[in-house]
Structure 1
Amino acid sequence: MFSDFPLWWDGLSQIAKIYWMIAFPSTLFFLIQMVMTFIGGDVDHDMDHDVDAQIDADHGMGFQFITIKNMIAFLTLFAWSGLASIEGGFSLTITIIVSTISGLVMMVIMASLFYYISKITQSGTLDYDNAIGETGDVYLTIPSKKSGMGKVQITVQGHLRTLNAMTEDIEDIKTGAIVEVDEIISESVLLVHRAR
């Protein structure tokens, strides 16, 4: 089987070789990504913790078009639709157009899917009022006098959450400090003070 590989490879056009070189690794990564998603190894939701609080201050995940998952999906569909177009006898221009459009459509589908899934999970039965009076750890420094937003990790309704937080304290509350929730400023922003 593998002894015929050099003959098969040499018989391919240059563009077909390029598409195959994209198809093999992207398909492998796509399959690994899918297996990890289904067995619970998907940890994309933890990736936003390193983002500056000013950028991350909006509510919810938003529509994320360019992500690793979407790029893998783009490359996978780009390569396979390009190979199908070559096999169908299309010209180089049409092949590139078809494969690019196919990849972009896949990116839009993936981005939309994850956007709506995040909306479903975010709008579940979590009642932020249950966080009032609870204590948690500061994850990202909370600027003083409500001058900016930080993040706290707090258990709400039996689940550890990382939520946006502000404080009226006169000093910044540094990462690792223990805080107590005073009130809910908006749907997902907590007003906290340093626990004594």
Structure 2
Amino acid sequence: MQFLHNSSLLLKSFWFIAVPISLMFLVQTLVFLTGLDVMDQSENYNSILNEEDSAFHFFSLKSLIHFLFSFSWTGIFLYSFIEEPLSLFILSVTSGILFVFLCAYIIKKVQLLRIDNSFKIQHAVNQNAEVYLTIPENKNGKGKIKVAVKGFIHELEAITENNQIESGTLVKVEKIADNTLVVKSLKGQNL
């Protein structure tokens, strides 16, 4: 750090922020990439992107590290190009803020990759559906229903414990028996 001996106070300040923050940023990034910290990151950044209680989460330790990382390195890299200290400071602050939002956006997108959108038959319970193939009465055979789960329509086998249910009838999925949905007609009921 001998090169800082004759430098200005502003450049020295940028360097004294950049070195420890860069180490913290590296550790934070490694922890994030290993998957140990993804849930905590998303909770911090969901509010920034959704503008829900964003003042509270915007001032988290992680966002502070991101801000200081970009702030200090922008100041170091642009120090020789921008002679006015106030302009350099404002540009560094702007860069830091933009970097926090960029990190929030990236982390939010990574979180979308971790969402489990796989279909499980249990998700169909208590859902309304439409009979696709007639369902015989009293569990005497299987019919098919079309049910929307998590925004996707699925064709599934169904039985009923009551009277036969004709094709096109609205039903409600009551439970699962032997990996088959048990439904009840909604005909004549208020939806």
Normalised by the size of structure 1, how large is the TM-score? 0.49
Other-structure match for 2:67: 74
Output the CA distance in 2 between the equivalents of 1:100 and 1:81: 9
After superposition, the CA RMSD in angstroms is: 3.2
Other-structure match for 2:26: 31
Other-structure match for 1:125: 118
Other-structure match for 2:90: 97
Unaligned runs of 5+ in 1: 49-55, 133-182, 184-196
2:47 equivalent among 59, 63, 79: 63
- State, as a whole percentage, how many aligned pairs show the same letter: 21
**Counterpart secondary structure, 1:124:** coil
> Contact 1:63–1:111 (CA<8 Å) still a contact in 2?
no
**Counterpart secondary structure, 2:47:** coil
Write out aligned runs for 1:1-196 (5 A): 5-6=1-2, 8-40=3-35, 42-45=36-39, 62-64=46-48, 66=58, 67-122=60-115, 124-125=117-118, 127=120, 129=122
Q: Structure 1: which 4+ aligned runs deviate by more than 6 Å?
A: none
Other-structure match for 2:137: none
Q: Deviations over 1:83-125 (max 9, x none)?
A: 1221213311110111011111111111112223223423632
Output the CA distance in 2 between the equivalents of 1:78 and 1:129: 49
Q: Deviations over 1:152-183 (max 9, x none)?
A: xxxxxxxxxxxxxxxxxxxxxxxxxxxxxxx9
**Distance 1:47-1:28 versus aligned 2 partners, 3 A rule:** closer
Q: Deviations over 1:42-99 (max 9, x none)?
A: 3352589xxxxxxx9xxxx833462433221211110010112212133111101110
Output the CA distance in 2 between the equivalents of 1:82 and 1:92: 10
**Counterpart secondary structure, 1:62:** helix
Output the CA distance in 1 between the equivalents of 2:26 and 2:104: 18
**Counterpart secondary structure, 1:111:** helix
Larger radius of gyration: 2
**Counterpart secondary structure, 2:79:** helix
**Counterpart secondary structure, 1:88:** coil
> Contact 1:78–1:103 (CA<8 Å) still a contact in 2?
yes
Q: How many residues align?
A: 117
Unaligned runs of 5+ in 2: 49-56, 126-174, 176-191
